[in-house]
């Protein structure tokens, strides 16, 4: 061992003895004041989602559960909605007479007809309301189902819903 190495070792030993240098102990960071942080902003997840087929179908089934429908009734409502709009809340269907003139339009996930149910003095004030509130539309359809009026929907009346059961 050289003289320089010996002196270096002796100096390190002296510092260790004096408590200035601590071997085998990690250095502790200084205690700095902690800045207060605001709590994280919770993410609000909508109760129902209508952005695609899977989410819309799930939302309809959740509403059916909330309305206490049986599994068979829930499957029936879903089959009619699938046949009508394929769970698309932006769906529209222009109804034409024999001359090809549009006489009414069906709107949204349940395909609510504007001639009979949308407008002043009718069940719903506007198309915008119908399209903005698909959950309310599904509940209204369930209300009509309970009243024995599922035949308001062509897919039920003509039986085309059955392929989705």
pTM of the model: 0.74
CATH of the domain at 70: 1.10.530.10
Q: Quick check: is 26 in a domain?
A: no
Residue 8 has pLDDT above 70, yes or no: yes
- pLDDT of 87: 98
Residue 38 pLDDT level (bands cut at 50, 70, 90): confident
Cβ atoms 140, 123 nearer than 8 A: yes
CA distances from 24 to 10, 12, 16, 21, 27 (A): 17, 13, 11, 10, 9
Residue 17 has pLDDT above 90, yes or no: no
> How many domains does the chain fold into?
1
Q: Quick check: is 9 in a domain?
A: no
Q: Quick check: is 111 in a domain?
A: yes
Residue 2 has pLDDT above 80, yes or no: no
Report the pLDDT averaged over residues 104-112. 98
Residue 11 has pLDDT above 70, yes or no: no
Q: Quick check: is 69 in a domain?
A: yes
């Amino acid at each position: 061992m050289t003289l320089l190495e010996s002196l270096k070792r002796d100096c390190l030993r002296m510092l260790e003895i004096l408590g200035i240098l601590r071997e085998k102990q990690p250095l502790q960071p200084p205690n700095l004041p902690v800045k207060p942080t605001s709590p994280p902003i919770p993410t609000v997840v909508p109760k129902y989602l209508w952005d695609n087929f899977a989410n819309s179908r799930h939302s309809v089934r959740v509403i059916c559960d909330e309305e206490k429908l049986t599994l068979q009734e829930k499957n029936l409502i879903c089959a009619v909605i699938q046949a009508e709009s394929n769970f698309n809340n932006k769906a529209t269907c222009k109804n034409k007479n024999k001359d090809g003139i549009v006489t009414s339009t069906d709107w949204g996930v349940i395909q609510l007809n504007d001639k009979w149910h949308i407008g002043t003095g009718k069940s719903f004030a506007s198309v915008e309301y119908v399209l903005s509130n698909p959950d309310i539309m599904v509940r209204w359809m369930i209300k009509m189902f309970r009243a024995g009026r599922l035949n308001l929907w062509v897919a039920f009346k003509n039986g085309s819903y059955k392929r989705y059961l």
